[in-house]
Structure formats: structure tokens, C-alpha cells
């Protein structure tokens, strides 16, 4: 028997997992409880009947009832509705991809949208666009579900007394109102009477109704015939487009008359050149009007420093493909921050190893951060540190680089040096800084990069500029795109949400239009934005949802979804894309751009395409190539606008003096007490995706929480507070306090609490209701990212659901317990080593099986795998960052239902790909994190197949474990027998009552599953079948390597997944599987999985090895 390799570590999934020493005893207790979801064993129902017996009785009676119900019904009659004139190149039933672009925070992703008979169903990356490179992220994937949200805003609403188009203008309004109110309230009376059977209650309701109508004068006249009408208790009622546009036009006209005196506009951080140009036009037309940016996803600090350095519109971008050393200063550049998709791709490229000799070329990542991010998880060395001390750490590294390692800043950067002082830090941090400085300086010119995080204040970014300057990376691996090359300017400093609050309090603003923004929810709580906005005379809100601001507004105008609107976006790297609508606006909504154009020209309905095309026509007019129809079509087709003119002025880096000034104004670090930090939520991304079921049910990458966010605290703070998972904490910052359930996450910096932004939204939809809590309330505008706070244990607790508590592949735990006389040692599910260990033992990944391969014998006949092509997958754990994109891409592709928090609590989540997260290392306060995507392994000798009584899961000749939904009778034997715990059961009819709008998202190539049916990863069999058909029609027998791309593989930003024909030794997947790092999960069970993993190789710094 092979002894576990020295480099194999012990892994644990949570702190509870680590503490308990589970025993494999009765099913449902001890270790087995971790393998099976709750309720998998015999459950005694209150009356004393066991669950199985109850089901037996139920089954027998149902069978008898079924005999009676036997009847013959013909298939339903179906119509085929052909086109009147079919558009050219449109083949009914065939998907078409159209290029467009999406903005996610400060990132622009070029995407291709799959259209099925006119409805967009899936988003893929545009391979030609630099920022996506063919991949996407979770939010781009989830955008498609947002488009089909049945709860999106559909019609304008207003608090202003409006006559509908049906009513005759100029008639006796008072009489009409009197008549209507009497009828409304009579209807209210009838309804309450029939509901409650209480005359008193009904009378009371009628009186209240009459009072309300009298007082507000709000009424609506929906149809002259029925005269059904109602008065909204909140004071806002449905209106119509004509009235809404009329009101907006009047407002714009009066604003134009006074050059915008008292008029304000709140816009999001837009990377659209046309929108920016319109904003400039707005400022020129109405010089006295103010514009503000309210958008928590804006990369504020990097914009401010870049623009200070190189003028308005300048951007910083990082390029990692040649880089050998990276220092992430509280930066989640692989997860939530600017250009995360491109950076994931470039970073993973520097981590690929085909042989031990390449270890020297591998990059090394250092992360310094307060809370565990996926970047921290990917880091070779991670130092938990208070977020507000990161600037000190950066300064320390800079001083070390200059003093110890004699690196010289460029002449321009010299003023910045004066602003630096070597701060005093903890010995641990100083040791870390010394090792980092030594390693960075040794990397060579422009081979090391420092990436500051967006939560960090501009000072940290300014110091990072100096650091990159010292390392020779500025202008090389760190691109500073000058203002002259950018179309979108920000001038962010003058237009923050803080100045909006000041202007509102000062009363200088009278009328405000929130164009796709939601300041009530997204502004820091200390600004009390809700109350401040109530002081306005007119508040107009335009948004995709009738959100917190919309509900307070005098007018709410629904906006189009990004996939319904014309637009353009310019990426950080300077690539311009034209965004084309994938579908007509479903509810006749305008886009933000069209609405802005209407404000500029009241009364004139703007057309998005005319605006965008007109803008670019005028832009390219100066060049020799005018914007012909052909060029325009080429732009739309490619998703990239080529040949756009740029200002030829050279890059200016004159602003070092200003940057130096920024570097010297640093917020004082929170040295003592508790530091409360805020970060964007991995699921809802600041709140945008709060009403998106996919995102709510997507486990957080590190805490694995679903449908909630929590106060993340470390084990050290938890033990000093006496708190355990789910206990309510009172978190206090300044004067505001909130009650939050806590979740203990190893790796959190000592005495810090991290709260994610974007949950706890109420009243915007049924999905968001009840999920999480709102951390924006707690933010102090003066220190929005990190603040000194207090935390104490509150009363009670809340159920938080983490998906990592069952589905264990190693149920008897790390210690191993004797079961039936056999001592099961730890099963090494995740296999890793470091560069040195890989050199010593290239076959490290093969070590750790409980049984040597030679001793494995099968009880079963091996399935007949006779096809020429055999499918298999390889997942590179060295590249995987744990970002969850595969899970969501799979959900979008395979029509996987959303099941809700309660179901997840019972272990019934439906994701076909589970991203396992393990901790390793002895220090609970600073462990290492590893991620491992696990879907169906498509075992050749599949344990599920041997136990299915109805052959519903069988092997295909090309090596796939097929799931035949129609045969499945729901015994769930297969799921119980699956050692990988990847089978998912439809306990309820999750797909029965889907709103017709939400149905439009479903992929027609994948069967919608019914209740009582098992499902699991199919290796995207629909894509394999299509490739086989395409190859056959094209006249070949063989599907070419690369013709089948699974949904997870396509979406993965790190290209960690390879799929293809393993029978062909030249295919990409075969080459991956031939690497010495390749291993299969639980190989000792002799299941012969078709999915294999490439073991991870870390690249630690020898100086920090025994930290």
C-alpha cells in the first residue's frame, strides 16, 4: 500500500469539520451525516409511521388509483406558425450568435449572445474581445436571467395625479374624481367585507379609502367601461407612457430655461462613449445643472489616481502575461475588480505547468487582505491584515525597495518619495514585507506588478504607482492609458454621492433625475439619502426595477435591459464595442441613453441606434474611412469597432505632484479595536443582481453561503465574542448599528468584521425579499471601505445555509476510523505540492490512493465502449480560481432550476457543478484555501448504473454516463451510491409554474425535468450531439478536437477546463491527461472516472516557508 506522500496535507471543509472527529456509524450520524444531506435516512413521522412505510402505503394506494385513471389521450394539437417573410439567413430552430458588450462594474466584457428563434438564451464571451477572450464571469452569465425577470418594472408609476389617455382632458375633473373615489371605496368595502365578514372592518376600510382619495387626489382611470380603479396605499400608482414623457418633457423644458438651475442628474459609472458625450452635451446646455455618479461598483480609487496622474479619462490596466511576481494589496483582481476576466486568464497562463522544469517560470502571488477573497485563495502567500493598514504595508514595501534593495524611482516619481514614511508594523507584517520586497526586486524589470484594491483609498493607489514605478512596470506591465486615448471621461472627484447629499441638504437642488441609479439603497447610510431626497420638489427615477429610489420618486420610468438597448462601451484597454439589442424592449421601455437624449431635446422620442450611430459617424468623419453601412455592419458583427480615431497627443504623466499629494493624505488606520470592512457581494455585486435567483443561490466562493450574506468574522474574534455560526451580532459604526448573523471564516484578519454589500433589499421582488441584510446602512461616508466599529453578541440567531456541509467525499474524516476492522486513512481528494516537491516527485498526484492500482479489481463487466471517439474532461486545479463561473454557465445552459433557501438547507440544491472549498494548514486564522469543481465524473464503471432498477442511467458507447429522464422513477439509489455526491434530484416540480417571461430563457436543446427525476452533469450532451450532426452533415465521421466545448469550459475565465476526445492521443484533453499531475478522484474505488484533475503546484517563497 502506498504511503501518503509527505507533501500531502490535511484538508478540512469548515471549522466544525475540523473540530469534530466523526465516526462512521449509523447512517445519519457522525461522518455519514456529512456524506448525505439531512433527512436521507429513516425519518420517523410524528404519528409513529416511518417515512419509508408511509411511502409504501402511499405507493400502493397510488398504484390502485392509477388503474382507474387509465385513459387514452392523443397528443395535444400543435400549430406551426411560420413567418410571413422569413428573414434572410434565419433558420427556424437554429441558434444565432450576435455580438454585443456588457459592463460589469468597471469592466467591459465583449460577449456573444445566443438567440433561439428571437429570444436570447445564453451569454458567451467574445473570443476576439481582449477583456473577455471568449470567457465570461458569473454576472455576465446571470444577466440573461435578469432580462427575463417577471418582476422587472413594466410601466411608469407616479404619485402625481394623472389622467389616463382614456379620460377626456378638460372635463370636470373634480366631478370625475368624486365619482371615481366613491366607486373605488365601494369596491374596497365589498372586498374587505367578503374577506373578513366584518362590517366594522369594511366600513373602516372605506372611510380610510375616502380619506386617502380626498387627501391625495390620486386616482387612476384604467378603462372607461369597467371603471375599475384603485388607489395605491403607498401613494404611487400605475401611470402610462404618454403622461410620463409629458411630465419629463415639462421638467426638462423648465430646466433648460434656467440653464439647469436647481436641476440634477444622477448617473451610473458609464463606460459608454455616446452616453459620456451626451452627458458633456448636457453640461454644456445646462451649465448650472449638476451631475453626480452614484454607483458602488465604480473603481473610484483607481480612477481618481489615474486621472490625477494623466488627466480626465485616463485608466490603469494591468497585464500579467509576462509577469513573474504579483503583490495584491487587498485587491480581488481575480474576482470582483476591474478586468477580472482578462486578469484571471493572464494569471492562469502563468500558472500552467506541464513538467517540473517549468516551475521556475511560474508566477508567484502575494495577497494582503482582511477577508478571504478568491484572489487570496489563489495566492502562494497570504497575509491577513486590517484593510486600513494595507496602505502602511504598501509604504513599508516601497521604503524597503528603495532603502534595502536600492531601486530608484523615475525622475517624475521623485516627489512621491518624499511623501513616504516607513511605518511601524507588527513583526509578522514586517517579515512578510521584507520577503515580498526582496522577491519583487529580484524579479527583474517590469516582471513584478503591484495591484491595489478598489476598496483601498486613493493613497494606497498612489503608493502602488510608486511601487510599480520602482519595479519598472509602469508603462510596461501596468498600462496607463492616457486621457487622449479614451472617449469616456469621469471627472469623478467633483461628482461623488457625498456632494449629492451636501447639495440636497443645502436645498440647492430642486429637481433630480436618477438615471439608472438607486441612491436610496446604494449611498452610504450616514448620508440618510432617503430623507434627503424627500426634500426635492421633483424626483424622477428611471431604472430597470422600481427600486428603493423609484418607490420614493414622484415619477418612476422603467428602463430597458442592457440586452434590449442600443449602446456602446469602451473597455479599460480602449477597445470600443457597439452594443446591439438582442430583443425588442419587451415593455416599450427606453434606454438610459434615449432618456438622456430626451431630456436634452424635450418632446422628441430618441432612437438609440440613431444616437449611437450618429455619434460614431461624427467621430470618424475626420478619418479617411467614413462610417459606411458596410463598416457599421462589420462593427456590429465583430463586436469591436475598428479604425476609430484617437487623439494623437502623447501620454501625459505630468500629475505626479498631485498623486504625491494624494499619497500623503491617508486616512488614519484603525489600529485598535474592531475594524469593519465592506466589500462587494460575490453574488449580488452591490445589489444589481439581488433579485436574480441564480445569483442568490450561487454559493459565496469562500463562505459557501447561499441566499444570505453575513458578518464574516475569524475564529479568533468568534471565540472572544463567544459566537458561533448564525448567532446575531450587533455591529456598530459611528451612530448606526445593525443586527447581523455571523459566519466564521478562517483566514479573516484578527479583530475585523467583513460585511458584503448588495443584500437585504426589500420590496424589489420576491427573490430578494428576505435574503440577507443591508450593509450600506452602516457605511460612514467619510470612510466608506473600512471604519472603526464595535461588535457585540446580540440575542438569537438566524439560520444561514452553507452548501459545504455535506456531500463529503471523505466521510470518515481526516483522522480515519476503524470500520469493520479496516482502518481507512485520509483520502486525499485534493492533491497539491510546491515547485520543489514537484521536482522531487513529479508523480505526486498519483500518491495518496488507499489501494494501489494493481490491486483493483472490478465486480462488474466493463461497459462496451466501442465508439471511435471517447469523451473526457481534465480540470487544472492550478488554474482554477474558484470563481463559480462554471456553475452558473452550467445552470444557464442546462435549464437547472432555482430551488430556494429552504431546499438548500435540506441539501437539495440543484447545481450540476459544485465548487468544493477546502481549507488546509494548521493556523485557523491564516489557512490556505483550495477550490475544486466537482461535477459528474462520468465513471466508466459507474456505481450509479449498477443500482438503478430501471436502467435510467446507462453508459453510452462514447463513454458518457447518460441520464434518461423518461425512464427514471426516482428511487434515488444512484445518488446514494454515487461516491462523488454529484447527482441532483427534483424533489418538487421546480419547472411547473414558471412565468411565461422567465420561460423564454430556457435552452430548447435541453429537456426540462419533471418532479421525481434525477439529473446531473451530462457533459453537455446537447453540444456533443450537435457537433456529431454538424460533422456528419459536413461529410466527415470524426468530430474535430475543439468542436465540442462544454458550457463550463467555454465560460471559465482561467481556461481551467479541457474537454475532448481521449481516444485521440493528440487531442488537447489527452495531452492534459498525460501530464504527471493528472489524477482521478477516489481512484481506489475503481470507478475509472472520465473527469480527471491536474494536481496543484504552489510556488512559495523559500524565505517565508516556515511562517
Partner 1 sequence: MPAIFPRWTNKIPLALGVLGPLAGVGLVLFVWVYFSPSFTDVGYRPEQPVPFSHKLHAGEMGLDCRYCHNTVERAAHAAIPPAATCMNCHSQVKTDSPKLAPVRRSYNTGESVPWVRVHQLPDFAYFDHSPHIAAGVGCASCHGRIDTMTVVAMDQPLSMGWCLDCHRNPEPHLRPLDQVTNMSWGDSETEDSMIDALRKLAGTSAPAETNGEQQTYNYREDPERTRLPEPPVACSGCHR
What grid cell was written down for 782?
467619510
**Out of 406, 506, 1033, 1106, the residue judged to bind partner 1 by CB under 8 A:** 1033
Shortest spacing between CB 235 and partner 1, in angstroms: 42
How far is residue 285's CA from residue 265's CA, in Å, rounded to a whole number?
Answer: 13
Question: In the complex, what is the shortest distance from the CB of residue 1006 to partner 1, in angstroms, rounded to a whole number?
Answer: 6
Are 929 and 940 in contact by the 8 Å Cβ rule? The answer is no
Does 67 sit near partner 1 (CB under 8 A)? no
Residue with cell 440575542: 795
Q: Looking at 133-141, 144-152, 986-994, 1017-1025, which segment touches partner 1 (CB under 8 A)?
A: 1017-1025
Residues 366 and 431: beta-carbon distance below 8 Å: no
CB of 289 closer than 8 Å to CB of 260:
yes
Beta carbon nearer to partner 1, 86 or 1011: 86
Q: Please, which residue, 6 or 94, has the CB nearer to partner 1?
A: 94
Among residues 79, 194, 622, 854, the one that binds partner 1 under rule CB under 8 A: 79
Grid cell in block for residue 822: 479496516
Considering the complex, state which of residue 64 and residue 1034 has its C-beta at the smaller distance from partner 1: 1034
Give the C-alpha separation, 957 to 867, whole Å: 5
CB of 934 to partner 1, least distance (A): 21
The residue (of 221 and 1010) whose beta carbon lies closer to partner 1 is: 1010
Contacting residue, 1028, 1077, 1090, 1098, with partner 1 by CB under 8 A: 1028
Residue of 991, 1007, 1064, 1101 that binds partner 1 (CB under 8 A):
1007
The residue ranges of DSSP E strands in 537-604, in sequence order, are 538-543, 555-558, 567-570, 576-579
Answer for which of 80, 168, 233, 411 binds partner 1 (CB under 8 A) is 80
For position 89 contacting partner 1 by CB under 8 A, the verdict is no
Query: 183 phi and psi, to 5 degrees?
Result: -70, -40
Among 502, 736, 1022, 1101, binds partner 1 (CB under 8 A): 1022
Q: By CB under 8 A, is residue 174 in contact with partner 1?
A: no
Taking the least distance from each CB to partner 1, the nearer of 530 and 970 is 970
CB of 961 within 8 A of CB of 942?
A: yes
**From the CB of residue 726, how many other CB atoms can be counted at a distance below 10 Å?**
18
1035 binds partner 1 (CB under 8 A): yes
Nearest distance, CB of residue 1020 and partner 1, angstroms: 9
Applying CB under 8 A, which part among 195-203, 421-429, 673-681, 1022-1030 lies near partner 1? Answer: 1022-1030
The reply to whether 971 sits near partner 1 by the rule CB under 8 A is no
Size of the residue set binding partner 1 (CB under 8 A): 43
Burial class (CB within 10 angstroms; exposed 0-12, middle 13-18, buried 19+) of 623: exposed
Q: Does 861 bind partner 1 (CB under 8 A)?
A: no
The upper half-sphere exposure of residue 413, i.e. CA atoms within 13 Å in the direction of its Cβ, equals 21
Closest to 363 in 3D by CA, of 346, 375, 377, 385: 346
Q: Say if CB 447 and CB 470 are below 8 A apart.
A: no
Q: Are 581 and 563 in contact (CB under 8 A)?
A: yes
**Element holding 519 (H helix, E strand):** helix 519-522
Interface residues for partner 1 in 511-570 (CB under 8 A)? none
Are 107 and 341 a contacting pair, CB within 8 Å? yes
Q: Which of 790, 841, 962, 1103 binds partner 1 (CB under 8 A)?
A: 962
Q: How far apart are CA 559 and CA 541, in angstroms?
A: 10
Pick one of 74, 406, 424, 630: the residue that binds partner 1 (CB under 8 A): 74
> Site for partner 1 (CB under 8 A): which residue of 49, 223, 989, 1036?
1036
What distance in Å separates the CA atoms of residue 437 and residue 404, rounded to the nearest whole number?
Answer: 9
Q: What is the DSSP letter of 685?
A: G
**By the rule CB under 8 A, 94 interacts with partner 1:** yes
Closest contact distance (angstroms) between CB of 1036 and partner 1 is: 6
Q: Does residue 75 touch partner 1 according to CB under 8 A? A: yes
**Is residue 69 at the binding interface for partner 1, with CB under 8 A as the rule?**
no
- Helices marked H in 106-228: 138-147, 173-196, 199-216
The answer to whether 3 contacts partner 1 (rule: CB under 8 A) is: no
Piece of 320-328, 631-639, 766-774, 954-962 that binds partner 1 (CB under 8 A): 954-962
Q: Which is nearer to partner 1, 728 or 998 (CB)?
A: 998
- Which of 958, 968, 1001, 1047 is the binder for partner 1 (CB under 8 A)? 958
Options 191-199, 346-354, 554-562, 1002-1010: segment touching partner 1 (CB under 8 A): 1002-1010
Could you tell me the smallest distance in angstroms from the CB atom of residue 996 to partner 1?
Answer: 17
Where is 263: in which H helix or E strand? strand 263-267
Helices (H), 237-337: 241-257, 273-285, 300-310
- Out of 1025, 1065, 1102, 1105, which residue is the one contacting partner 1 (CB under 8 A)? 1025
Least CB distance from residue 938 to partner 1, whole Å? 11
The grid coordinates listed for 650 are 502623447
Residue from 954, 1063, 1068, 1104 that binds partner 1 (CB under 8 A)? Answer: 954
The nearer residue to partner 1, 197 or 864, going by C-beta atoms, is 864
Handedness of CA 801, 803, 804, 810 (dihedral sign): positive
Total residues belonging to the chain: 1107
Output the nine-digit C-alpha cell for 230.
384603485
660-693 burial, b for 16+ CB within 10 Å, e for fewer?
Answer: bbbbeebbebbeeebbbbbbbbbbbbbbbbbbbb
Q: Which positions from 660 to 689 touch partner 1 by CB under 8 A, shown as an x/- string?
A: ------------------------------
Q: Whole-number minimum distance, CB 958 to partner 1, in Å?
A: 8
Q: How far is the CB of 1010 from partner 1 (least distance, A)?
A: 10
Which candidate, 938, 963, 936, places its Cα nearest to that of 951?
A: 963
946 belongs to the binding site for partner 1 (CB under 8 A): no
Is residue 969 at the binding interface for partner 1, with CB under 8 A as the rule?
A: no
The DSSP result for 310-334, as a single string, is H-TT-EEEE--TT-SEEEEES--TT
Among 412, 583, 964, 994, binds partner 1 (CB under 8 A): 964
Contact flag: residue 795 with partner 1 (CB under 8 A): no
CA distance 437 to 448: 10
Q: Is 1037 in the site for partner 1 (CB under 8 A)?
A: yes
Residue 1021 makes contact with partner 1 by CB under 8 A: yes
Q: Indicate which single residue of 82, 506, 650, 722 sits in contact with partner 1 (rule: CB under 8 A).
A: 82
Q: What is the DSSP letter of 830?
A: S
- Stretch of residues binding partner 1 (CB under 8 A), selected from 84-92, 553-561, 618-626, 657-665: 84-92
Position 118 contacts partner 1 (CB under 8 A): no
List, in sequence order, every residue forming a beta bridge with 11; answer none if it has no partner: 920
Residue for grid cell 476526445 = 1061
Asked if 1064 touches partner 1 (CB under 8 A), the answer is: no
Closest approach, Cβ 866 to partner 1, in A, equals 10
Q: Which stretch binds partner 1 (CB under 8 A): 512-520, 639-647, 683-691, 957-965?
A: 957-965
Which of 660, 667, 670 shows the shortest CA–CA distance to 420?
660
Record the cell numbers describing residue 363, joined without a space. 508566477
Interface stretch with partner 1, choices 545-553, 569-577, 734-742, 1028-1036 (CB under 8 A): 1028-1036
Angle at 469 between CA 464 and CA 470, to 5 degrees: 100
Residues that bind partner 1 (CB under 8 A): 72, 74-75, 77-86, 91-94, 954-958, 960, 962, 964-966, 1005-1008, 1018, 1021-1022, 1024-1025, 1028-1029, 1032-1033, 1035-1037
Amino acid at each position: 500500500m502506498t504511503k501518503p506522500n509527505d507533501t500531502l496535507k490535511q484538508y478540512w471543509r469548515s471549522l466544525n469539520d475540523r473540530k469534530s472527529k466523526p465516526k462512521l456509524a449509523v447512517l445519519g450520524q457522525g461522518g455519514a451525516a456529512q456524506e448525505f444531506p439531512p433527512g436521507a435516512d429513516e425519518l420517523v413521522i410524528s404519528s409513529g409511521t416511518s417515512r419509508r412505510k408511509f411511502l409504501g402505503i402511499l405507493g400502493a394506494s397510488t398504484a390502485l388509483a392509477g388503474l382507474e385513471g387509465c385513459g387514452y389521450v392523443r397528443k395535444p394539437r400543435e400549430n406551426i406558425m411560420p413567418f410571413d417573410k422569413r428573414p434572410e439567413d434565419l433558420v427556424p430552430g437554429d441558434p444565432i450568435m450576435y455580438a454585443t458588450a456588457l459592463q460589469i462594474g468597471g469592466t467591459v466584457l465583449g460577449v456573444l449572445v445566443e438567440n433561439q428563434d428571437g429570444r436570447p438564451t445564453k451569454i458567451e464571451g467574445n473570443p476576439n474581445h481582449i477583456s473577455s477572450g471568449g470567457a465570461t464571469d458569473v454576472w455576465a452569465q446571470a444577466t440573461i436571467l435578469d432580462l427575463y425577470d417577471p418582476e422587472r418594472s413594466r410601466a411608469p408609476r407616479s404619485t402625481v395625479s394623472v389622467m389616463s389617455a382614456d379620460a377626456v382632458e378638460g372635463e370636470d375633473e373634480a366631478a370625475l374624481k368624486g365619482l371615481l373615489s366613491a366607486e373605488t371605496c365601494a369596491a374596497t368595502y365589498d372586498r374587505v367585507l367578503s374577506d373578513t365578514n366584518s362590517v366594522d372592518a369594511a366600513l373602516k376600510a372605506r372611510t380610510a379609502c375616502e380619506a386617502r382619495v380626498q387627501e391625495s387626489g390620486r386616482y387612476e382611470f384604467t378603462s372607461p367601461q369597467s371603471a375599475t380603479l384603485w388607489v395605491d396605499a403607498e401613494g404611487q400608482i400605475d401611470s402610462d407612457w404618454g403622461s410620463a414623457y409629458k411630465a419629463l418633457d415639462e421638467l426638462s423644458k423648465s430646466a433648460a430655461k434656467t440653464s439647469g438651475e436647481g436641476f440634477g442628474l444622477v448617473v451610473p459609472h458609464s463606460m459608454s462613449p455616446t452616453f459620456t458625450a451626451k452627458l458633456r452635451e448636457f453640461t454644456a446646455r445646462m451649465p448650472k445643472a449638476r451631475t453626480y455618479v452614484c454607483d458602488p461598483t465604480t473603481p473610484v480609487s483607481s480612477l481618481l489616481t489615474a486621472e490625477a496622474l494623466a488627466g480626465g479619462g485616463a485608466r490603469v490596466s494591468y497585464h500579467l502575461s509576462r509577469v513573474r511576481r504579483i503583490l495584491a494589496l487587498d485587491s480581488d483582481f481575480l474576482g470582483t475588480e476591474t478586468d477580472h476576466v482578462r486578469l484571471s486568464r493572464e494569471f492562469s497562463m502563468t500558472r500552467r505547468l506541464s513538467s517540473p522544469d517549468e516551475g521556475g517560470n511560474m508566477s508567484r502571488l502575494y495577497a494582503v487582505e482582511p477577508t478571504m477573497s478568491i484572489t487570496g485563495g489563489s495566492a502562494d502567500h497570504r497575509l491577513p491584515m486590517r484593510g486600513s493598514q494595507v496602505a502602511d504595508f504598501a509604504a513599508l514595501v516601497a521604503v524597503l525597495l528603495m532603502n534595502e534593495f536600492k531601486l530608484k524611482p523615475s525622475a517624475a516619481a521623485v516627489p512621491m518619495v518624499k511623501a513616504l514614511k516607513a511605518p511601524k508594523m507588527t513583526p509578522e507584517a514586517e517579515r512578510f514585507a521584507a520577503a515580498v520586497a526582496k522577491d519583487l526586486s529580484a524579479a527583474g524589470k517590469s516582471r513584478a506588478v503591484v495591484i491595489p484594491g478598489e476598496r483601498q483609498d486613493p493613497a494606497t493607489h498612489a503608493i502602488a504607482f510608486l511601487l510599480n514605478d520602482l519595479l519598472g512596470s509602469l508603462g510596461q506591465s501596468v498600462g496607463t492609458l492616457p486621457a487622449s486615448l479614451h472617449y469616456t471621461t469621469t471627472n469623478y472627484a467633483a461628482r461623488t454621492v457625498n456632494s449629492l447629499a451636501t447639495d440636497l441638504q443645502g436645498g440647492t437642488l430642486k429637481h433630480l433625475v436618477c438615471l439608472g441609479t438607486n441612491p436610496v439603497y446604494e449611498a452610504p447610510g450616514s448620508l440618510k439619502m432617503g430623507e434627503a431626497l424627500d426634500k426635492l420638489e421633483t424626483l424622477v427615477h428611471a431604472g430597470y426595477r422600481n427600486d428603493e429610489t423609484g418607490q420614493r420618486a414622484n415619477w418612476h420610468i422603467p428602463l430597458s435591459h442592457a440586452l434590449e438597448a442600443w449602446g456602446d462601451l469602451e473597455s479599460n484597454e480602449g477597445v470600443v464595442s457597439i452594443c446591439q439589442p438582442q430583443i425588442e424592449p419587451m415593455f416599450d421601455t427606453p434606454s438610459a441613453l434615449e432618456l438622456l437624449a430626451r431630456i436634452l431635446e424635450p418632446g422628441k422620442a430618441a432612437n438609440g441606434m440613431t444616437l449611437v450611430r450618429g455619434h460614431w459617424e461624427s467621430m470618424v468623419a475626420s478619418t479617411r474611412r467614413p462610417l459606411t453601412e458596410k463598416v457599421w455592419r462589420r462593427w456590429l458583427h465583430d463586436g469591436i469597432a475598428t479604425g476609430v480615431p484617437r487623439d494623437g497627443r502623447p501620454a501625459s504623466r505630468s500629475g505626479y505632484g498631485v498623486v504625491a499629494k494624494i499619497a500623503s493624505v491617508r486616512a488614519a488606520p484603525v489600529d485598535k479595536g474592531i475594524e469593519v470592512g465592506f466589500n462587494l457581494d460575490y453574488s449580488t455585486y452591490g445589489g444589481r443582481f439581488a433579485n436574480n435567483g441564480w445569483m442568490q443561490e450561487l454559493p459565496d466562493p469562500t463562505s459557501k453561503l447561499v441566499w444570505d450574506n453575513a458578518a464574516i468574522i475569524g475564529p479568533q474574534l468568534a471565540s472572544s465574542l463567544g459566537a458561533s455560526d448564525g448567532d446575531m451580532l450587533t455591529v456598530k459604526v459611528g451612530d448606526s448599528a445593525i443586527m447581523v448573523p455571523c459566519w466564521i471564516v478562517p483566514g479573516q484578519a484578527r479583530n475585523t468584521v467583513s460585511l458584503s454589500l448588495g443584500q437585504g433589499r426589500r420590496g424589489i421582488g420576491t427573490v430578494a425579499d428576505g435574503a440577507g441584510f443591508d450593509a450600506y446602512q452602516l457605511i460612514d461616508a467619510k470612510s466608506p471601505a473600512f471604519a472603526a466599529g464595535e461588535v457585540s453578541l446580540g440575542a438569537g440567531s438566524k439560520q444561514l445555509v452553507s452548501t459545504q456541509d455535506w456531500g463529503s467525499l471523505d466521510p470518515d474524516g481526516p483522522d480515519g476510523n476503524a470500520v469493520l476492522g479496516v482502518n481507512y486513512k485520509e483520502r486525499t481528494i485534493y492533491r497539491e505540492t510546491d515547485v520543489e516537491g514537484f521536482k522531487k516527485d513529479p508523480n505526486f498526484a498519483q500518491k495518496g490512493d488507499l489501494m494501489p492500482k494493481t490491486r483493483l479489481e472490478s465486480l462488474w463487466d466493463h461497459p462496451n465502449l466501442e465508439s471511435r471517439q471517447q469523451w473526457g474532461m481534465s480540470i487544472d486545479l492550478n488554474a482554477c480560481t474558484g470563481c463559480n463561473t462554471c456553475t452558473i454557465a452550467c445552470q444557464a445552459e442546462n435549464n437547472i432550476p432555482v430551488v430556494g433557501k429552504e431546499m438548500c438547507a435540506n441539501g437539495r440544491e440543484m447545481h450540476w457543478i459544485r465548487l468544493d472549498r477546502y481549507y488546509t494548514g494548521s493556523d485557523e486564522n491564516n489557512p490556505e484555501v483550495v477550490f475544486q469543481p466537482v461535477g459528474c465524473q462520468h465513471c466508466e464503471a459507474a456505481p450509479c448504473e449498477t443500482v438503478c432498477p430501471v436502467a435510467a442511467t446507462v453508459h453510452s458507447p462514447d463513454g458518457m454516463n447518460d441520464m434518461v429522464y423518461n425512464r427514471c422513477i426516482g428511487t434515488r439509489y444512484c445518488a446514494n451510491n454515487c461516491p462523488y455526491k454529484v447527482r441532483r434530484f427534483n424533489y418538487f416540480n421546480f419547472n411547473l409554474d414558471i412565468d411565461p417571461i422567465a420561460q423564454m430563457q430556457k435552452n430548447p436543446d435541453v429537456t426540462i425535468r419533471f418532479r421525481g427525476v434525477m439529473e446531473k452533469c451530462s457533459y453537455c450532451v446537447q453540444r456533443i450531439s450537435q457537433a456529431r450532426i454538424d460533422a456528419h452533415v459536413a461529410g466527415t465521421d470524426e468530430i474535430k478536437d475543439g468542436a465540442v466545448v462544454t458550457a463550463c469550459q467555454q465560460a471559465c475565465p482561467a481556461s481551467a477546463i479541457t474537454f475532448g476526445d481521449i481516444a485521440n492521443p493528440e487531442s488537447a484533453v489527452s495531452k492534459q491527461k498525460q501530464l504527471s499531475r493528472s489524477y482521478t478522484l477516489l481512484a481506489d474505488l475503481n470507478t475509472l472516472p472520465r473527469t480527471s484533475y491536474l494536481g496543484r503546484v504552489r510556488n512559495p517563497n523559500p524565505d517565508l516557508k516556515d511562517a
